[in-house]
Structures are given as C-alpha cells and as structure tokens.
Amino acid sequence: MRIFGWIYIIIFSINAVLVLADAVTPGTSFVQIITGVTGIVIIILSIAAFILACMGRFRPRKVFLFLSGYYLLTVIYGIVMGILLVMKVGVEKVMSGSTPDLLQETFTWLVPVGWVLNIACLLLAVYGIMGYLKKPVEEE
C-alpha cells in the first residue's frame, strides 16, 4: 500500500503545480488538459482508497484525508460557482461565452480566492510529501 500512497501524493503534487501554472499562464489548453486528467486520476484514487479502507485492507493516513478532503471541497466549490453563475447571468450567456472569463467578470473576488486555493493546494502537496516521509508505515 505504500506504493499506492506515493502514487497518490505524486499525482496530487503534479496537479498542484499544474493548477498554479494554469493560473499564471491562463488559456494554455495543454496545461488544462493535463490538469483535468490528473484531477480525474486523483478522484479515482480517492475512491479506490475509500473502498479499500471500507474493506479493511487499507488504513489511510491522516494526510490522505486532508488531500482528498481538499480536492472534494474544491470540486464542490467549482460546482457551486457554476450554479451561482448560471443563476446570476442565465444559461444562454454561460453557453455562449468563455466560462472562466465570465466567472471573473461576474465575481470579481474570484481571482484572489483562486490564488489562495492554489497556494493551499501547493502547501498541502508539501505537507503530504513530508507527512508521508516522516511516519513509519504501521499497516505493512
């Protein structure tokens, strides 16, 4: 299970760096595609860890709860922001324009919140690596 943990932490860290790179250079489709793929892999690994934990084959460390919880909260945040955007400007305008630009125009506070979330993601990635290095593995 230690390899599973390292794979999770490495993919989370790559995603954190790519999300920050996307914030610095917006509109780069390659970075957005890779960020989306790593995000899907994080979700799949989180579900797998949850299933393994329920089966009793994996006792997740606290670091996984923080990383998975953060990612879950950012996904929920994105869904809520999408719903708020549709409620504020309407479906037609959302479908006709660039959603990130429309979000920034509609909610001016979104950019600073995004930077806080990006920095939090990087700090959690570092916390994940350091926390996984320090603690001895009890279940192995």
pLDDT digits (tens, 9 = 90+) for 87-136: 888 887 777 767 677 777 888 888 888 889 889 988 989 988 887 787 65
Q: Which is nearest to 67 in space by CA: 122, 124, 17?
A: 124
Query: So what's the pLDDT on residue 51?
Result: 85
Query: So what's the pLDDT on residue 64?
Result: 79
| Longest pairwise C-alpha distance within the chain | 54
Query: So what's the pLDDT on residue 132?
Result: 78
Query: So what's the pLDDT on residue 138?
Result: 52
What string of DSSP letters covers the chain? -HHHHHHHHHHHHHHHHHHHHHHHSTT-HHHHHHHHHHHHHHHHHHHHHHHHHHHTS----HHHHHHHHHHHHHHHHHHHHHHHHHHHH-HHHHHHS-HHHHHHHH-TTHHHHHHHHHHHHHHHHHHHHHHHHHSPPS--
Answer yes or no: is pLDDT of 4 > 50.
yes
Query: So what's the pLDDT on residue 139?
Result: 47
Least confident of 10-24, 36-50, 54-68: 54-68
What lies within 8 Å, CB to CB, of 140 at 6+ separation is 1, 2
Answer yes or no: is pLDDT of 137 > 70.
no
For 15-36, what is each residue's pLDDT tens digit?
899 888 887 876 667 888 888 8
Burial (CB count <10 Å: 0-12, 13-18, 19+), residue 128: buried
Contact 19, 78 (CB under 8 A): no
Query: So what's the pLDDT on residue 140?
Result: 42
